[in-house]
Structure 1
Amino acid sequence: MSEELTTTLISGWGAPVSMIAPVTGTDADHTDPHSLDDDLIHPRETVDDAAARLLEEAPPASVWVGWSLGAQVAVAAAHQAPDRVQGVVTLCATPCFVERDDWPCGMDRDTFDEFHRAAHDTPEREWHRFMLLQIRGDRHESSARRQLRRWLNAGPPTDDATLMDTLDWLASLDERDRWQTIPVPSLHLFGDCDQLVSADTASHLRSQGMNTALIPDMAHWPWGHYTEEVAERIDRFYHEDVQS
């Protein structure tokens, strides 16, 4: 009999992990959820520091699922402790968020720099703007906006300093080499309508031999009916790739 899937779930920039909790299925007892908040991120720390801290308390064997920026923490954990991380699923994530001369899939540098400067001046306003960008392009954007309202009304799940520290990660991280050498089975899922992480990233990574898939009609936030497909793909990955 195959083992039941246990997941370590990590959220993205400025987003509480409750936003994506359904992607791991209905059994909360087998999910270890984490937001990139003050409890996890200490001042001036790195992605590797966050991964090391999570490894201290994560289940001894689980599939690490990272949404957006959280994927960088999952990948880092796999490199630090491949005996503890059974597999990695990245969800609407990229190894390099901002474009570079040899990386056309990233966000336009000038656009990101403008957002970065504005976030230093008015972090909560820019956080609100970023949250809305996560549903832009979704085929059901108006419904997604209604569903997103509860988190928008609650405000950021962390303080301004942590928001800016983790935004700096997005500005500087280039983990392409690390993603190509993940020492455990991996799956990279993308929304084909995502306005923050280009769907072209999927074909780019696939050309390098990585296991990728596109979720039709989905933007950056895997909400509502998309969560069922994401959960099914994660479960299939676990049973077909991790346990094989």
Structure 2
Amino acid sequence: MTGIHREIYGQGRPLVMLHGWAMHSGIWREFARQLARHRQVICLDLPGHGRSAGLEQFDLPAIGSALFDAIPVNRFSLLGWSLGATVALDMAARCPDRVQSLFLLSGNPKFVKNTDWPGVRPEVLDGFVAQLSDDTKLTLQRFLGLQVQGLPESRQLLQQLRLAVHECDAPARDALQGGLQILKNSDLRKSLVGMRCPITVMQGDKDTLIPAQTGQSIKALNSRVDLHVLANAGHVPFLSHARQLCDILAAAE
């Protein structure tokens, strides 16, 4: 593998899409093709994930630099899901001249919960960090299950996730550990406060990783945020609520 792997669909206004932790672009290929009916969709594998080469240091500055170099257009909209949302938010803050608009899907500028912010309990991420050292495969299976937990169609969605994920080998352990450290330690709330590009936040009200109140907390940081909470959606609404997301994205431009 060399460089950053990308898949490009359609023509028109460019939309760059970044997947989540332990995943790759294949996870939302069908969703990308739906979006490509109206625009050019550029899907990137994060460094060390899917078919992309790894980095010596898996941190936000290095990831952003590698991804910016791989994007074949100067100005674009940017959509990030989960860990990809954290990466996308950081990229938009670093290079506002290139990011025309920002879409955060099932994301959180501060992934970990504390007394004044909704998020994942720290011990949940710590558990994944510890388990990776013992059994990477089991850890990834547990993470997939968590993303659809509590949904009526959880079995079907879990099967879709598994089929897509297994298209590529699992990411290297250093990339997985690095991604968890980014989620555990990053706090990009200040970046959101001063961001001037249009921001759209999309989340599910049944998401076990992004609490339902996260959207309102984000909107309190930046009143210009366009918030959409999808009823009966979990952490993977591009699988369960693709049509609604397509409508939101079309209306935002």
State whether TM-score is above 0.5. Answer: yes
Question: Displacement of 1:9 after TM fit?
Answer: 0.4
Aligned 8 A contact 1:96 1:174 in 2: yes
Residue 76, structure 1, aligned to residue 90, structure 2: yes
Identify which of 203, 206, 229 aligns with 2:219.
206
Q: 1:232, 1:110 → 2: CA distance?
A: 36
Cα-to-partner distance string for 1:132-173 (whole Å, 9 max, x where unaligned): 111112232122123223135446542122111111111111
Q: 2:168, 2:66 → 1: CA distance?
A: 25
Note the 1:46-57 alignment, pairs <5 A.
Answer: 46-57=59-70
SS at match of 1:166: helix
**Counterpart of 1:32?**
42
Q: 1:225, 1:101 → 2: CA distance?
A: 32
Normalised TM-score (structure 1) = 0.87
**Counterpart of 1:13?**
21
Q: 1:175, 1:23 → 2: CA distance?
A: 27
The count of aligned residue pairs is 235
Show structure 1 runs of 4+ deviating over 6 A. Answer: none
Deviates further, 85-94 or 43-52: 43-52
Aligned 8 A contact 2:15 2:41 in 1: yes
Note the 1:60-209 alignment, pairs <5 A.
Answer: 60-103=74-117, 105-154=118-167, 156-208=169-221, 209=223
Cα-to-partner distance string for 1:105-141 (whole Å, 9 max, x where unaligned): 1111223222221122222211111011111122321
Aligned 8 A contact 2:15 2:77 in 1: yes
- Structure 1, unpaired ranges of 5+: 239-244
Asked which structure has the greater RCO (Cα within 8 Å, sep 6+), the reply is 1
Normalised TM-score (structure 2) = 0.84
Note the 1:224-243 alignment, pairs <5 A.
Answer: 224-238=239-253
Q: Tell me how large the CA RMSD over aligned residues is.
A: 2.1
- Structure 2, unpaired ranges of 5+: 1-10
Q: Quote the sequence identity (%).
A: 21
